[in-house]
Amino acid sequence: MTVTDKEAYESRIDRVLISEEEIKQALKRCGEQISREYEGKPLLLVSVLKGAFVFLADLCREISIPCEIGFMAAQSYFEGTSSRGNVQITYDLAQDLSRYHVIIVEDIIDTGRTLAEIIKLINIRDPLSLKVVTLLDKPSRRVVPLEADISLFTIPDHFVIGYGLDCGEYYRNLPYIAEYKEKSL
Ligand code: IMP
Ligand code: MG
């Protein structure tokens, strides 16, 4: 999809679900909690590209203790309604995970399939500990039983865009989270 028509682009942005200010407040609390819980521990924040890049960038600046950042990219292949997932890592971490307390920083947990596979792959590498922080949680869509250790916002089953989350690679740069309006451009 290529969008050059600004009016059409904007017409797809339905109502704002979570404002910039609400995100800021929640990030502050989350950053403080992580800084408290991981003080004195080697901490690695792992983000799965691309959706979580904005969340990671803002969250790490609310963390006041030393920490490292790592990125992974994954491609998911899931067939039908089967919960047996297949995730291929297309870009991998450079760090030796056995030296770190790892926090996976996710944009959204939807069915939970991708994250469940990523958790398996990280656990094989034997981190000192592993936790999950997610910006958004859509529990009503869950296929794999899985819960984040910290979830900033729980949202209903509606496709959302902004703050890193995309639709057809667009809207990642919106500073807030909005509901996406389905209609053809
Ligand atoms: P799942 O939990 O394996 O179903 O996949 C989660 C991934 O699907 C997220 O990391 C997002 O990239 C994408 N996703 C799920 N729900 C939404 C949404 O509402 N907006 C944008 N992307 C979404
Ligand atoms: Mg993601």
CATH of 6-179, one of 1.10.8.350, 3.40.50.2020, 1.10.150.120, 3.40.50.150: 3.40.50.2020
3-class state of residue 137 by DSSP: strand
Instruction: Output the pTM of the full model.
Output: 0.93
- Those residues with Cβ within 8 angstroms of residue 99's Cβ, 6 or more apart along the chain or in another chain: 42, 128
Question: Which one of the listed residues 58, 107, 110, 137 is annotated catalytic?
Answer: 110
Q: How far is CA 48 from CA 6, 7, 10, 38, 61, in A?
A: 29, 31, 27, 21, 18
Rounded CA-CA distance 11/28 in Å is 32
Q: Can you give the residue ranges of every domain in the chain? A: 6-179
Q: What is the pLDDT along the chain (185 residues), one digit of tens a residue?
A: 677 789 999 999 999 999 999 999 999 999 999 999 999 999 999 999 999 999 999 999 999 999 999 999 988 766 554 445 577 889 999 999 999 999 999 999 999 988 999 999 999 999 999 999 999 999 999 999 999 999 999 999 999 999 999 999 999 999 999 999 987 55
Of residues 121, 157, 126, the one with CA closest to residue 139: 157
Quote the ligand 1 centre to 72 CA distance (angstroms): 16
CA-proximal residue: ligand 1, atom 10 (nearest): 108
Q: Determine whether the shortest distance from the Cβ of 162 to ligand 1 is under 6 A.
A: no
Q: Determine whether the shortest distance from the Cβ of 9 to ligand 1 is under 6 A.
A: no
